[in-house]
Structure 1
């Protein structure tokens, strides 16, 4: 994913999030919060936290840290919440140049695993987990929401939004079997699969994972 896209569109993204400009988030936002609650996570690392909406939506007793590769979005998150936010790229995670101050019960990726190589990232964050800790990933449902049902790069131009974004955002989509393969490569075991839905087909998919190491 191009971090400069997010730095160039900080104000646009904040406007979209604040106005609930992505209709599916009426389903997916509560779904990720419910998954954190159901797994009784009391400390969370939010990877790809954006402008920090999740921090402001969780109960106050949850110890929260948010990281994102966009310094502009991290600055917005810091302005809007007293939680800990740091500018940390996925390359920082893969190269192990960053660690949280303490191990956590949960690592959350909410629509933020958009690169082709995700196993390196997942292996790195697995080291941040307390024993019995969980990784929670929410992404588009591969069976219903991929533009074409195959692994590959796609483009999001945000033209359905009421806000004008600069440039386009490339993202890597994968089939359900590809997701499962990536988890196996990352030494993760799938504990639960959730399919949030409103009316009709599922809007997203949530994977609950544990390290097998």
Structure 2
């Protein structure tokens, strides 16, 4: 496996085509729209006047949703093209979102502690993911909520193997490996790896969610999307900082 650094991963994700950023600018892609966003927003609860960090905000779609629900949002994104797109959208339709260009492992001073931190589909893309998780927890208020989403470690290749075989197949789990994507690379890590690190950082788990797709939603999705009705492709975790 390639010895990835954060800078290498950032450069890879920063090459995301403009067309893809535009297509997902409103509420993300199909999976985020139907599986991730509803659960994530329910876990966060009432956001009115709450200070929220969107850690690894990408094109800023989630930052804009959070701001629309009354949150005071700071979005951090290291990739140049993604950061520029998010800033551009804020200039077009201001929502008082502050965007900061930085690696999550090297955050500048972001001001007062946050009521909530969201890292949606970010940790799997970061080589130094433990440093990123530590930074997310560190900027929370005591009792603050940390919500993160990852590819479900047990079903990461769900869509492609379902299309090919009509079922889910895997042959390895316990070792870390690369998951190539169209624009970047994610990294497989076990479920226990994520949850044990969360505990080590002084967080108390409050909820795990493994969302499935409603059967009547598949008509709008791509070929093979019916796999998401039967097996979870995403894991959504909510925890509170206790120290």
Partner of 1:73: 82
Shift of 1:184: 2.6
- The secondary structure found in structure 1 opposite 2:154 is helix
Alignment of 1:109-188 (within 5 A): 109-114=119-124, 115-145=126-156, 148-158=172-182, 165=183, 169-188=184-203
- Give the number of the structure whose alpha-carbon radius of gyration is greater: 2
- The secondary structure found in structure 2 opposite 1:55 is helix
Higher strand share: 1
- The secondary structure found in structure 1 opposite 2:174 is coil
Shift in CA distance, 41/171, structure 1 to aligned 2, threshold 3 Å: farther
Shift in CA distance, 30/195, structure 1 to aligned 2, threshold 3 Å: same
CA contact (8 A) 1:153 1:170 kept: no
Higher helix share: 2
- For 2:181 and 2:242, locate their aligned partners in 1 and report how far apart those are by CA, in whole Å: 38
Residues 132-191 of structure 1 deviation map (CA, whole Å, 9 limit, x = unaligned): 101101111122225642341213232xxxxxx5xxx23221121222222233232212
**Is 1:208 paired with 2:209?**
no
CA contact (8 A) 1:150 1:173 kept: no
- For 1:21 and 1:122, locate their aligned partners in 2 and report how far apart those are by CA, in whole Å: 22
CA contact (8 A) 1:123 1:187 kept: no
Shift of 1:92: 1.2
- For 1:206 and 1:212, locate their aligned partners in 2 and report how far apart those are by CA, in whole Å: 19
TM-score, length of structure 1 as denominator length: 0.82
Shift in CA distance, 108/13, structure 1 to aligned 2, threshold 3 Å: same
What's the RMSD between the two structures over aligned residues?
2.5
Alignment of 1:22-41 (within 5 A): 22-25=29-32, 26-37=34-45
- For 1:210 and 1:172, locate their aligned partners in 2 and report how far apart those are by CA, in whole Å: 25
- For 1:15 and 1:126, locate their aligned partners in 2 and report how far apart those are by CA, in whole Å: 31
TM-score, length of structure 2 as denominator length: 0.73
5+ residue gaps, structure 2, are: 1-5, 158-169, 214-228
Shift in CA distance, 28/141, structure 1 to aligned 2, threshold 3 Å: same
5+ residue gaps, structure 1, are: 159-164
Shift of 1:21: 7.9
